Structure 1
Amino acid sequence: MSELVVELRNLINEVPNKIESLPYVNEKTNPSKWSKIEILGHLCDSGSINHKRFVEILISNEQVTLSGYNQVLWVQVHNYQESYSIKEILNLWRSINERIVKLLSNIKENQWNLSCKLEDQTIVTLEWLVSDYIQHMNHHLKQIFSD
């Protein structure tokens, strides 16, 4: 599973410079849509939630059932739009994902097959969950870099 770790490490190395060069990260193109800074804040929230999930799967003696979270309320309560600079959120994003890389770098090959249950009762592996986390991140990074 080193490919997933490498992919995440590459994102950590590439994304900050690209985002720092973007103009208008606080601009909202639609009042009901997140700004680029809010999308990045959402990725910080996602990183925090997923780090916790990865750890729980690794330390549990039983199959973990994952619960969702209210993404919109997390972004609202953190108030990424008004309370943070892009540099602060980038530093947070980088730190969370570096922590995830270190965690994933230390797991044993057989641990990638540990299973967990999603809210809809689908059973997936840790490998699937990490891959899904990275795909989710890439989806939102495309949103940030569009326009």
Structure 2
Amino acid sequence: MSTATRETSIQNYLHTTDKIRDKVQGLSEELLLWQPGPGKWSINEIVGHLLDSNIVNSYRIRKIISEPVTPIVTFAHESWVSQQQFNDTSVDEMLTAYEALAVYNGILLKKLNEEQWLRYGLKGEEKISIAHIIDSFICNHVEKHMGQIERNLAAWGNRN
């Protein structure tokens, strides 16, 4: 992977905080906590899930650079969301934690040498690189959930 491509991946990752913040900033607490249906996540729960995902992916990156060819850990995201009571945590607190973790990870990612950058973990038989974690497991995942927030906003507007 070229240095420019790597830097683009890192910058895209660092901008995920802004994407999330821009999407939820100025929304009422009522809207942030509203669930569009049974078993559907509120916007607060979506942000909490993205924070959890960032934590898990931070761990995955560290495992890969420290323990090459390590299994990729998974997590039961539905259970994590249901048990953590994200609707009792302010979206601002979650965004502060998300941003701090992203900045800290950015510092680490910028220090990796080429050999470390090319290491991978295994998801079954599939090789998962650090670049894949950043680009797919984090950046694309955030984009997916920005769409989910948009659907919540549309459902909120159509609820009457």
TM norm structure 2? 0.82
Alignment partner for residue 44 of structure 2, among 34, 37, 42?
A: 37
Q: Is the 8 A contact 1:12 1:98 kept in 2?
A: no
SS at match of 2:121: strand
SS at match of 1:66: coil
The alignment yields a C-alpha RMSD, in angstroms, of 1.6
Q: Identity across aligned pairs (percent)?
A: 21
Larger Rg: 2
- In structure 2, the partner of 1:109 is 114
Runs of 4+ off more than 6 Å = none
Q: Which runs of 5+ in 1 are unaligned?
A: none
C-alpha separation between the residues in 2 aligned to 1:5 and 1:110?
Answer: 17
C-alpha separation between the residues in 2 aligned to 1:87 and 1:39?
Answer: 13
- In structure 2, the partner of 1:49 is 56
- In structure 2, the partner of 1:69 is 75
Deviates more, 1:88-97 or 1:15-24: 15-24
CA drift of 1:14 comes to 4.3
Q: Which runs of 5+ in 2 are unaligned?
A: 1-5, 155-160
1:2 corresponds to 2:2: no
1:129 corresponds to 2:133: yes
TM norm structure 1? 0.88
SS at match of 1:29: coil
Question: Number of residues paired by the alignment?
Answer: 144
CA drift of 1:6 comes to 1.0
Write out per-residue CA displacement over residues 15-64 of structure 1, whole angstroms, 9 at most, x where no aligned residue: 3243122341111111211111101000011011110010111111x411
The one-letter amino acid of 2:108's match is L
Q: Is the 8 A contact 1:40 1:93 kept in 2?
A: no
Alignment partner for residue 32 of structure 2, among 25, 50, 61?
A: 25
